[in-house]
Chains A and B, each alone.
Chain A
Amino acid sequence: MSMILVGMSTCGMSAGAKDTYKSLEALVEGSDNELTFTGCIGMCFKEPLVEIREGERRTIYGHVDKKRAKEIYETHVVGGEELPDYIVYQEDGGKACGGSEQQFLERQERIVLRNCGLINPESLEQYENRGGYQATRKALLEISPEEIISELKDSGLRGRGGAGFPTGLKWSFCAGYESDVKYVVCNADEGDPGAFMDRSVLEGDPHAVLEGMIICGKAIGAAFGYIYCRAEYPLAIHRLQVAIADAVAKGYLGENIFGSGFSFDIKIKQGAGAFVCGEETALFASIEGERGMPRIRPPFPAEKGVFGKPTNNNNVETFANVPWIISNGGQAYRKYGTEKSPGTKVFALAGKIAKGGLAEVSMGRTIEDILFGIGGGIKEGREFKAVQMGGPSGGCIPADLKHTPVDFENIPKTGAIMGSGGMVVMDDRTCMVDMARFFLDFTQDESCGKCTFCRIGTLRMLETLERITRGEGEVEDTDMLAELGEQIKQASLCGLGQTAPNPVLSTMRYYMDEFLAHIKHKSCPAGSCQALVDFIIIEEKCTGCGVCAKDCPVDAISGIKKQPYIIDIEACVQCGKCMTSCAFDAIYTVGKKVAAS
């Protein structure tokens, strides 16, 4: 008898895991094989993934569509013969023993993702079999709240939401305030475009987060917790609801947990689509039903948070670390990572990377190690240009600095931040000016409008960048951007405004030549800013169908049917119409030729 597991998190489903599951369901029916589903194991580039588990032997197949599912079922599960061509990872008795993507998993160290991809996230029983709720039992029955906090201080765990504040210290602040009511808040409002590790943890191992919150409640003396999850993650919300209901039924949540006299309840609050609500004071305002606008600190949340009560707020990944630390001890956690940034961190690899997905590694490994050792380098073998870390609050790290160790000390030196762990990789076709504009467009749109500099200042910066990408920039613009950027950083109340200019400032620091190419030569070297490029037809791909010529509003395209067409660069107005109508991807852009001067 074998167990068949289908990876069913959002990434798997968008690759078609639902169909795979359905077809396997029909095949399994009537046999003694068991079909179940699991969360994301991190190999998003190979989704949908199907695992066949026979005792200790695990075989994971990649890109399993309906047809391949049938083949695998008939040959491997029924016939007993493995299909090595499709195997991405194989393990026997806990040891990796083959598969095309063995390196991807082997080079990782998994604490936060310890259960993701291994258990059915909607089964409390499977979580318990992996040692689930033992940490809670220990925290509630065996050790005191002070010991929980000192264990966390020993571990050196730092907040994984981005700021890196020591978690143990944060808890001790909140524990120090006397109050009849206190709150534990889990920030699951993962708004950074390009980051999806919290979603994967919530979808793959929701009980670990609940456990972290219960332990936190015990440590600081709170009896109630909120999980603030963004509404764009319906599956994560569903899995959390199932997990909470199961935990309540089993007595892990509610009154008198484990007979310890400690009670704890958790409620889910759905976000309503506002990036600024990832900032803790804005998040509290949103929980209270207000417009999610940040508040002035002090008073800090540890003193006055949700509904004016002492509140401790941590990120999903931070909470997922807690049960492991309580079970294994703070010193064991220190075996991973560096002295000042202990432990592991989950990174979301996306953009122009060959193997996009999730990777958990010890802090202090280099950018190169993560992107090339695990991520497999750049898509289509192109040139590595930069990696963006920290989303709209972070910055771009150029290829020259790829030996930088990734931790809370070294990344800020480059002008980027650790952030929540999104790594968006860029190749030579990505325009850095456009990236700066993109992030500012995002923060400008998401600014809540409370602080003048954040509200108007970001808009002025955005307008300037838009002018530059349209080819109407002036040389003084860069100075103005730098000056205004500094002012916005100083005159904003919350993290959104204080960091909004970072993407612009960091790209100007490393890629001033690209800014100048846009401003002086009216050319986009990466071939990305539409107004500053030449459109070209690739002869080999053009079939001569003539659709582009028909669609061109200025008749700049001409040719003979069934032969490659040509674009007259002088007449072209760079509207991009031909590119969207070409059915053969035959139209390409290059930076405008700079006249030799």
Chain B
Amino acid sequence: MNQTEAEFSYRLWRHDGAQGELIPLLQSAQDHFGYIPRRAIKYISGVAKVPESKIYGVITFYSQFRLQPMGKHAIRMCTGTACHVANAGMLLETIEDELGIEVNGTTEDGTFTLFSVACIGCCSLAPVMMVDDDTHGSLTPVTTRRIVRKVRRKTLAGEKKAAAEKPEEDAAASPAKE
């Protein structure tokens, strides 16, 4: 059992029916699964005694929660005020063009999911984007493309290496069996 799974189970187990615990439960479910799958809603509904419809209502209200799985890397392009003034819209188009997806979309190979977010609080380095937990500031179309390509190359190289090293495990973990 890994850490996120332990955290999620622990929260489910500890839950005492307090209404205020619903959002933390959903957050830990998302930490574990990467999104909130149907079965997690079912577990939570059973434990928290909250109807599934209501949980769905809470999930769709908050922008943090996702009902779809996401790519290996999340690109968060900041479109807050300072970044907007610094032409973030053009950069968003650049990434969309580079990856062939639109905002909130995931690339076909499952490498990237693109989000547009409001202000990540690095206004003085605008325009800014986050690739997973790394923040990149003072972007131009050129540097943006360069960063995205670098991450993609790294991911592909990592995948090839992993496939070469342990082909059996890789096959077992393929999403087809999920």
User: Which residues of chain A have a CB within 8 Å of any CB of chain B?
Assistant: 10-11, 13-15, 44-45, 47, 190-196, 199, 231-233, 269-275, 286-293, 307, 348-352, 356-357, 388, 391, 422, 424, 426, 430, 435, 438-439, 442, 448, 576-577, 579-585
Quick one: given A10-B135, A196-B123, are A424 and B82 in contact (CB under 8 Å)? yes
24 contacts between A and B (CB under 8 A): A14-B125, A14-B128, A192-B119, A194-B81, A199-B121, A232-B119, A271-B62, A272-B26, A272-B63, A274-B61, A274-B62, A274-B63, A288-B19, A289-B21, A293-B61, A307-B20, A350-B126, A351-B82, A351-B86, A356-B82, A424-B82, A579-B90, A580-B94, A585-B141
- Chain B residues 111 to 145 lying within 8 A of chain A, measured CB to CB, are 117-126, 128, 135-137, 140-142
**What separation, in Å, do the CA atoms of A584 and B64 have in the docked complex?**
36
Which of B57, B58, B65: most chain A Cβ within 10 A? B58
Taking CB atoms, residues of chain A closer than 8 Å to B142 are 582-585
CB–CB B64/A193 < 8 A: no
Q: Which of B57, B97, B119 contacts A291 (CB 8 A)?
A: B57
Q: Do A442 and B122 form a contact, CB below 8 Å, given A14-B135, A289-B19?
A: no
- Partner of A270 from the list B27, B61, B120 (CB cut-off 8 Å) is B27
B2 → A minimal CB distance (Å):
19
Could you tell me the distance between the alpha carbons of A367 and B118 in the complex, rounded to whole angstroms?
26
Q: In the assembly, what is the distance between CA of A188 and CA of B128, in Å?
A: 22
User: When the two chains form their complex, are residues A288 and B64 in contact, meaning their CB atoms are under 8 A apart?
Assistant: no
Please give me the residue from chain A that is nearest to B85 by CB atom.
A351
Per a CB cutoff under 8 Å, which of A291, A293, A351, A448 touches B123?
A351
Q: In the complex the two chains form, is B27's CB within 8 Å of A292's CB?
A: no
Decide: A10 near B82, CB < 8 A? Known: A287-B20, A289-B22: no
Instruction: Specify the chain A residue showing the minimal Cβ separation from B94.
Output: A580
Beyond contacts A272-B23, A424-B123: 16 other A-B pairs, Cβ-Cβ < 8 A, are A10-B121, A15-B137, A44-B123, A44-B124, A194-B81, A231-B27, A271-B62, A272-B26, A289-B20, A348-B123, A351-B86, A351-B123, A430-B85, A435-B85, A581-B97, A585-B140
Q: Mark B39-63, 1 if CB is under 8 A from A, else 0.
A: 0000000000000000001100111
With contacts A193-B118, A287-B20, A291-B61 taken as known, whether A581 is within 8 angstroms of B141 at the C-beta atoms is yes
Q: Which of A190, A291, A352 has the most CB of B within 10 A?
A: A291
Query: Which of B21, B64, B93, B135 sits near A272, CB closer than 8 Å?
Result: B64
The yes or no answer to B84 lying at the interface (CB within 8 A) is yes
Q: Complex formed: what's the CA distance from A292 to B24 in Å? A: 14
B82–A14 touching, CB < 8 Å:
no
User: 9 tightest A-B contacts by CB?
Assistant: A356-B124, A193-B80, A14-B135, A350-B123, A44-B124, A289-B22, A272-B62, A273-B64, A193-B119
The residue on A at minimum CB distance from B97 is: A580
Q: Is the CB of A10 within 8 A of B122?
A: yes
Please judge, given known A-B contacts A193-B119, A348-B123, A583-B142, whether A422 and B24 are in contact too, CB under 8 Å: no
Q: Is the CB of A424 within 8 A of B120?
A: no
Q: Is the CB of A351 within 8 A of B118?
A: no
- Asked whether, in the complex, the Cβ of A579 is within 8 Å of the Cβ of B141, the reply is yes
A289 to B58, CA, bound (A): 8
Residues in A neighbouring B126, C-beta threshold 8 A: 350-351, 356
Distance between B17 CB and nearest chain A CB, rounded to angstroms: 11
CA distance A585 to B140 in the complex (A): 8
Interchain CA distance A444-B126 in the complex, whole Å: 23
For A194, the chain B residues whose CB sits under 8 A away are 80-82, 119, 123
Q: Nearest residue in B to A190 (C-beta to C-beta)? A: B121
Contact residues on B (Cβ < 8 Å of other chain), bracket: 35 or more
Please tell me if the beta carbons of A357 and B124 are within 8 angstroms of each other in the complex: yes
Residues of A close to B85: CB separation below 8 A: 351-352, 424, 426, 430, 435
Q: How far is the CA of A46 from the CA of B72 in the complex (A)?
A: 33
Mask of B10-40 contacts with A, CB within 8 angstroms, 1/0 = 0000000001111110110000000000000
Please name the residue on chain A nearest to B83 by beta carbon.
Answer: A193
Given contacts A274-B63, A275-B118, contact A391 B81 (CB under 8 A): yes
**Which of A11, A47, A290 is B58 in contact with, Cβ under 8 Å?**
A290
Contact A424 B137 (CB under 8 A): no
Please name the residue on chain B nearest to A431 by beta carbon: B85
Report how far A448 CA is from B58 CA in the complex, Å.
12
* Cβ–Cβ contact A272 & B57, under 8 A: no
Q: Beta-carbon contacts of B67-106 to A below 8 Å, as 1s and 0s?
A: 0000000000001111011100010011001000000000
On whether the beta carbons of B141 and A582 are closer than 8 Å, the reply is yes
Q: A193-B119, A351-B123 are in contact. Are A438 and B84 (CB under 8 A)?
A: yes
User: Which residues of B are found within 8 Å of A292, using beta-carbon distances?
Assistant: 61-62
Complex interface: chain A residues within 8 A of B23 (CB): 269-270, 272, 286, 289
Closest chain B residue to A388, Cβ basis? B81
Which residue from chain B places its CB closest to the CB of A391 in the assembled complex?
Answer: B81
Does the CB pair A14–B122 fall under 8 Å? yes
> What's the nearest-Cβ distance from chain B to residue A337, in Å?
25
Instruction: Look across to chain B and name the residue whose beta carbon is closest to the beta carbon of A306.
Output: B20
**By the criterion CB–CB under 8 Å, are A288 and B90 in contact?**
no
Query: Which residues of chain B have C-beta atoms less than 8 A from A192's C-beta?
Result: 119
Quick one: which of B20, B97, B124, B141 contacts A350, CB cutoff 8 A?
B124
Bound CA–CA A190/B121 (angstroms): 9
CA A15 – CA B136 in complex, angstroms?
A: 8
Decide if B125 touches A11 in the complex (CB within 8 Å). yes
Q: A351 near B81 (CB under 8 angstroms)?
A: yes
Q: Taking A272-B23, A272-B26, A576-B90 as contacts, is the C-beta distance between A442 and B118 under 8 angstroms? A: yes
Contact, CB under 8 Å: A580 / B121: no
Query: Are A424 and B81 in contact, with the CB atoms below 8 A?
Result: yes
Q: Which B residues are CB-close (under 8 A) to A15?
A: 125, 137
Beta-carbon contact of A272 and B22 below 8 Å: no
**A residues in contact with B19, CB < 8 Å:** 288-290
* CB-based nearest B residue for A424: B81
A270 to B62, CA, bound (A): 12
On chain B, the residues within 8 Å of A47 by CB distance are 124-125
**B100 smallest CB distance to A (angstroms):** 13
For residue B124, which residues in chain A have a CB less than 8 angstroms away from its CB?
11, 44-45, 47, 349-350, 356-357
Q: Judge whether A273 and B62 touch: CB under 8 Å.
A: yes
Minimum C-beta distance from B34 to chain A (A): 15
CB distance from B139 to the nearest CB of A (A): 11
CB-CB nearest in chain B for A235: B121
Chain B: minimal CB distance from A289 (Å): 4
Q: CB-CB < 8 A to B123: which residues of A?
A: 44, 194, 196, 348, 350-351, 356, 422, 424
Query: Would you give the shortest CB distance from A175 to chain B, in whole angstroms?
Result: 24
- Neighbouring A residues of B97 by C-beta, 8 Å: 577, 580-581
A292 to B125, CA, bound (A): 31
Contact B93 A580 (CB under 8 A): yes
Complex Cα spacing A232 to B24, Å: 15
